């Protein structure tokens, strides 16, 4: 299970709605709480640096990841995953997402949208064989 504060989730949803011509993206920062569950405690937005088809794919700025990793060094918190929006799609991983996924430890939060409105948010993780995503339960803390 993954938990996230309602305010953090709201910030992601707002960013996705405001910038719905492209996939928005960013990093999820958190820590392991009880065994098997992860608390997301912060988000760090990134520019979508993919060079074309930004409405269909995303790439997080690697310099942001390095900066966050450096900031979190010696801390309990770490990068636990990332988020991105599907401006015109469901909150399910696309074929492109599967092709570009290679870190089984990372959570994938996907924001499914329709007409610039967020429809649903789901969390996924690559399975150990790296051939499919499996859903992870998301719990929103108010």
Of 17 and 94, CB closest to Zn ion = 94
Task: Provide the minimum distance between the beta carbon of 84 and Zn ion in the complex, in angstroms, as a whole number.
Answer: 5
CB atoms within 10 A of CB 73: 8
Task: Provide the minimum distance between the beta carbon of 56 and Zn ion in the complex, in angstroms, as a whole number.
Answer: 8
Phi, then psi, of 63 in degrees rounded to 5: -70, -30
How do strand 117-126 and strand 133-136 relate by DSSP bridges? antiparallel
In sequence order, the 6+-apart residues with CB closer than 8 A to the CB of 89 are 112, 113
Q: Per rule CB under 5 A, is residue 3 in the interface with Zn ion?
A: no
Residue nearest to Zn ion (CB): 97
Cα angle at 5 between 15 and 98, to 5 degrees?
A: 60
The site map against Zn ion for 59-98 (x = CB under 5 A) is -----------------------------------x--x-
Q: Per rule CB under 5 A, is residue 45 in the interface with Zn ion?
A: no
Interface with Zn ion (CB under 5 A): 94, 97
């Amino acid at each position: 299970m993954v938990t996230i504060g309602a305010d953090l989730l709201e910030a992601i949803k707002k960013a996705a709605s405001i910038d719905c011509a492209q996939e928005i993206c960013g990093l999820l920062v958190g820590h392991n709480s009880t065994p098997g569950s992860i608390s997301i405690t912060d988000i760090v937005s990134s520019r979508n640096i993919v060079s074309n088809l930004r409405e269909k794919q995303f790439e997080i700025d690697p310099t942001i990841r390095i900066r966050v990793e450096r900031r979190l060094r010696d801390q309990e918190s770490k990068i636990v995953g990332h988020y991105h929006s599907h401006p015109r799609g469901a909150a399910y991983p696309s074929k492109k997402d599967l092709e570009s996924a290679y870190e089984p430890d990372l959570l994938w939060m996907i924001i499914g949208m329709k007409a610039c409105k967020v429809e649903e948010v789901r969390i996924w993780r690559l399975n150990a064989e790296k051939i499919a995503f499996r859903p992870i339960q998301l719990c929103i803390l108010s």
